[in-house]
Amino acid sequence: PLLLSFGTLRSISITTMLPRIAQQATRAAARAAPRSVIARGMATEKQIWNQIQSTKNIQKITSSMKMVSAAKLKGDEGRRMTAISFNNWAEALNGPPKLVEDSTFEELPQRSLIVTLQSDKGLCGGINSFITKSVKTCVAALKEQGKEADIAVIGDKGRGQLRRIYPELIQVSMTEVLSPGNFTLASALASELIAAGAGDYDAVVLMYNSFKNAATYTQAYKVIKPFSGEGEDEPLLAYEFEPDTKQEVLTDLQEYLLTSQIYHSWMDGAAAEQGSRMTAMENASKNAGELIGSLTLQYNRARQ
């Protein structure tokens, strides 16, 4: 008779059970694998679906903002045309606005105050960043010519951008200006600039966006110099004034000229802002539609 010890029997039983355990583990892994794939597939489909819905909500918002901007643009265009007619007399004294592009700024005097007309709100394309770039170009050109320049900012977005670049040059900033603008608000802005010392500079330079159409605008600037000089340089020689009143009249006229120019530049920039916002929201709506189509195709593929 064959005698086996207990240890030998135990090793034989374990050896016999190992293939069975391995086989059961393989079957369990095979059953679990499809379930994990299915679980991942269901999660991916849900994520895509949620992204489609959120993109549709964004598209609704951008479409609404486009319609609102289109309605505001119509009103701003009307106010701009009124400001152009009102400001014709100022152009006779100061000349027409000049384009920032390719300008050397050599006509600016030794000490200038650059006033930027920007926006308190975003989502309007490059309205604010283009003016900031124009200011950088102007300041760099004046420094090369050995001239000085300070900055006054109208608009919160412009203040945020220029404060990071030229914090030492900003003398005054005006934000949260009511919209739509009018001559009364322009007069208040002019008063703030005069109180901040605009009269101490050799010239005030208004830098703004000039409206062309709903999709196009350019950067322009106006140079407003004080009425000062003697002899042949004496201002308004073609006009007669009562004795001892000319200087007082010129001081009042200088303030009125600054207000009128601000009013026109502000209305021109407001129309450019709404046109740029309308174009930006239209492009955003189109991009959202393309993204929705792409996600829908991806969602349908995941379902299959």
Task: State the pTM of this model.
Answer: 0.79
Of 140, 263, 166, the closest CA to residue 208 belongs to 263
Residues 6+ apart with CB under 8 A from 285: 59, 62, 63, 66
Q: What was the pLDDT predicted at 140?
A: 94
Of 210, 78, 94, 208, the closest CA to residue 154 belongs to 208
pLDDT band at residue 9, thresholds of 50, 70 and 90? very low
Better-predicted residue by pLDDT, 49 or 229 = 49
Q: What is the pLDDT of residues 157-171, one digit of tens each?
A: 999 999 999 999 999
Instruction: Give CA–CA dist 177/153, Å, rounded.
Output: 12
Instruction: Give CA–CA dist 183/242, Å, rounded.
Output: 29
Q: What is the pLDDT of residues 241-271, one digit of tens each?
A: 776 778 888 888 999 999 999 999 999 999 9
Q: Of 15-19, 115-119, 281-285, which range is least confident?
A: 15-19
DSSP H helical segments within 125-205, as ranges? Answer: 127-144, 156-165, 183-195
Inform me whether the pLDDT recorded for 42 exceeds 50: no
Inform me whether the pLDDT recorded for 141 exceeds 90: yes
Which structure tokens are listed for 63? 């479409």
What's the DSSP call for residue 225?
-
**Residues 73 and 215: beta-carbon distance below 8 Å:** no
Inform me whether the pLDDT recorded for 273 exceeds 90: yes
Q: What was the pLDDT predicted at 137?
A: 94
Q: Across residues 34-61, what is the average pLDDT?
A: 74
Q: What was the pLDDT predicted at 25?
A: 58
Q: What was the pLDDT predicted at 19?
A: 57
Residue type, 2: L
Beta strands in the chain (DSSP E): 98-99, 111-117, 148-154, 170-174, 203-213, 216-224
Q: What is the pLDDT of residues 174-209, one digit of tens each?
A: 998 888 889 999 999 999 999 988 989 999 999 999
